[in-house]
Amino acid sequence: MNANPSTSATRVSDEEIQQASQWVYPLRAEIGRHLIGQTALVDRLIAVLLVRGHVLLEGVPGLAKTLALKTLAQLVDARFNRIQFTPDMLPADIVGTQVFDPRSAKFEVKHGPVFANFILADEINRAPAKVQSALLEAMQEKQVTIGDQSFRLSDPFFVLATQNPLEQEGTYPLPEAQLDRFIMKILVDYPSMDEEMAVIDVAANTREPAALTPVVSLETIRYAQDVVNRVYLDDKVKRYIVSLVHATRKPDDFGIKIGPYLRVGASPRASIALTLLGKARAFLDGRSFVTPHDVKSIAPDVLRHRVVVSYEAEAEGLDAEHFIRVILDQMPVP
């Protein structure tokens, strides 16, 4: 099922939204059977997939980050590869390399694990800069070059990178310019007591996990991506998006007195991300238009890795999360 090119620029109707999103509830329900207490995380992963973005997860080990993406990939009928990043990795371990074949006396290209629909880049901050750059280039360009040949990556191509906030020794923190490539940075927290009791009921056994049956095809996902592009964004909501992003650069212009605490504000990529993810959230809720609440609900995940606080803020123990909340609370909502 493909979008009609002649109508790809027109505003989507409520009926089209309902038709294109029929798979959302079954997917949520099936993931909920295998993944306890991560509903918000799953919705954000689906939203990022719908806008062809990539996401960075930060959380301590054992919070089902790997399980979340693996389950989503199996239910979407997509090819999934997990890459465990280590300090001794080379770029070829990600994208592939040329291997000499003695029978043909020629070099043959061997594709690396990046050639899949869903990539889990586990502990990305453990790999050196060259390896990080190889993956981030693939994320941006949707292609890799091996030798003198370029190869397109799968469509959709979705990277979920994780990093452990506890361990600093033997890690290579991603610079701000590379963090900006991720459309979202999601902080994964511990489950509640009730959720953790449910986790025990589901996972505390020695049985092999049952094979999952896909509930949605890649073709359907591609069609949904085209529909999301046509979700309506009013100019008032668009101005609200731009105002939020500009307030991270020059908060005093909006009467928000936190200027000395912010060293670097969000780039225009943040405005694009808020627009796309606002449309995806509306789609997931079955609406053909974006509301300010859609934008406000995803703003912390979009902005937290794009805003750099000053030394004064660090001295007072205040992080970017705090000032993003101040901006969201004080910025008038249309």
Omega of the bond leading into 156 within 30 degrees of 0 (cis)? yes
Residue 287, classed as helix, strand or coil, is coil
Of 221, 247, 270, the residue at which a domain comes to its end is 221
Domain with 316 in it: 231-330
Report if residue 45 sits inside a domain: yes
Report if residue 151 sits inside a domain: yes
Report if residue 4 sits inside a domain: no
59 lies in the same domain as 143? yes
214 lies in the same domain as 255? no
The pLDDT value given to residue 170:
59
The pLDDT value given to residue 137:
81
276 lies in the same domain as 245? yes
What CATH number is given to the structural domain containing 195? 3.40.50.300
Overall domain count for the chain:
2
Report if residue 2 sits inside a domain: no
Q: Is 153 exposed, middle or buried (0-12, 13-18, 19+ CB in 10 A)?
A: buried
The pLDDT value given to residue 9:
56
User: What averages of pLDDT result for each successive group of 10 residues across the chain (334 residues)?
Assistant: 47 87 90 80 91 89 79 87 90 87 81 90 86 85 84 89 72 79 89 82 72 87 93 95 95 91 92 96 93 95 92 90 94 91
Model pTM?
0.87
Decide: 59 and 189 in contact? Cβ < 8 Å: yes
Residues 99-135 as b or e (16 or more Cβ within 10 Å = b): eeeeeeeeeeeeebbbbbbbbbbbbbbbbeeebbebb
163 lies in the same domain as 293? no
Report if residue 3 sits inside a domain: no
Of 170, 189, 221, the residue at which a domain comes to its end is 221
33 lies in the same domain as 98? yes
Decide: 260 and 310 in contact? Cβ < 8 Å: yes
157 lies in the same domain as 282? no
Report if residue 24 sits inside a domain: yes
Report if residue 115 sits inside a domain: yes
Torsion over CA: 7, 11, 15, 17 (sign): positive
Of 221, 255, 287, the residue at which a domain comes to its end is 221
45 lies in the same domain as 186? yes
The pLDDT value given to residue 133:
84
The pLDDT value given to residue 73:
85
- Token pair of 252, please? 């005093």
100 lies in the same domain as 198? yes
208 lies in the same domain as 235? no
Report if residue 183 sits inside a domain: yes
Decide: 27 and 46 in contact? Cβ < 8 Å: yes
